[in-house]
Amino acid sequence: MHTRAMLELGVRRDKLSVLLIDDDLVSREVTATVLTMDGYIVHTADDGVRAVEMLAAGEVAPDLILMDAQMPGLSGADLIAELRARSHARIVALSGSNPPADVTAAADGFLLKPLDVAVLGKFLAGQPAGPVSIAAILADPDAPAISPDTLAQLRHMMPESGVREIYQAIVTDLLKRTLALDAAIAAHDGAEVRRIGHAIKGGCAMAGALQAARIGALLEIATLDFTGNQSDNIASLLNDLRSATSILQRMLEAELPA
């Protein structure tokens, strides 16, 4: 097992074992795929409790733990404390926006989603990482359904069938989340709408599904009272999400046919 000092000296990434903790299926699987293809040994957990169980049982002995900063259940600074009690790994918080101050203070570092493996490599080597913000991309109403650069990178790392599997998983996830948004809106549950928006933004941005990611970002920051113009705005965003999902499905069939 590598020590913290070895990590700080910049150990080869293909010698590093990573525990990735993320409750969002798409974000977790895309991140794990990219890390694996870049040479890391990756283990995943879908929530904080499962991660703690894996460490306690000796199922994994990671050199590095990457954890989403905003998850339901055991999360944030409380999760970091539980992880530190069972592992000497460096802990890096991942988030699509600035995490709470207590998470930043408790973690060994913070990187923005979507995770850039080049930025992660610089961070582990102790070099300035220069976090990459996707704010400008998400603010662009004319963003393409799929980032050409991200699609090219994925095609370089894996066969076409693997790339298709990633984007098909995103389409399937978006269809499920649209139904969940319908239910949350009907229940006037603003917190749930924002939570779903955060999940859409993170997973779609990681795979370069820019239109859907942008809508997720807008849902995450929406001020919701479910009346008047606000209600119209919510309905408009939901329609935009359905449209983005349909466009993504059509591009998937055209670019990556089964």
CATH number of the domain within which 191 lies: 1.20.120.160
| pTM over the 0.95 mark | no
- The verdict on 157 and 52 lying in the same domain is no
- The verdict on 127 and 161 lying in the same domain is no
Q: Are 115 and 66 contacting, i.e. CB atoms less than 8 angstroms apart? A: yes
- The verdict on 214 and 250 lying in the same domain is yes
- The verdict on 97 and 205 lying in the same domain is no
- The verdict on 157 and 59 lying in the same domain is no
Decide the pairing of beta strands 17-21 and 41-45. Answer: parallel
Number of domains in the chain: 2
pLDDT tens readout for residues 33-90: 888 888 889 999 999 999 999 999 999 999 999 999 888 899 999 999 999 999 999 9
pLDDT tens readout for residues 96-126: 777 788 888 899 888 887 777 777 777 777 6
- The verdict on 108 and 161 lying in the same domain is no
- The verdict on 157 and 182 lying in the same domain is yes
Alpha-carbon span 172 to 225, nearest angstrom:
29
pLDDT tens readout for residues 174-199: 999 999 999 998 888 888 888 898 88
| CA 50 to mean position of chain CA atoms | 18
Assess if residue 137 is contained within a domain: no
Instruction: Provide the residue range defining the domain that includes 60.
Output: 4-132
Q: Examine the fold and report which residue of 98, 132, 166 is the final residue of a domain before the chain moves on.
A: 132
Q: Are 8 and 144 contacting, i.e. CB atoms less than 8 angstroms apart? A: no
Alpha-carbon span 198 to 186, nearest angstrom:
19
CATH of the domain at 53: 3.40.50.2300
- The verdict on 119 and 164 lying in the same domain is no
Assess if residue 138 is contained within a domain: no
Of 138, 152, 158, 130, nearest in space to 35 by CA: 158
Assess if residue 188 is contained within a domain: yes
**122-128 CB contacts, 8 Å cutoff, 24+ apart:** 123/92, 124/7, 124/10, 124/11, 124/13, 124/16, 124/64, 124/90, 125/10, 126/8, 126/9, 126/10
- The verdict on 71 and 191 lying in the same domain is no
Per the listing, tokens 């926006």 go with 97
Q: Are 118 and 134 contacting, i.e. CB atoms less than 8 angstroms apart? A: no
Assess if residue 28 is contained within a domain: yes
Assess if residue 143 is contained within a domain: no
Side by side, the strands of the sheet bearing 90-95 are: 41-45, 17-21, 64-68, 90-95, 109-112
Assess if residue 168 is contained within a domain: yes
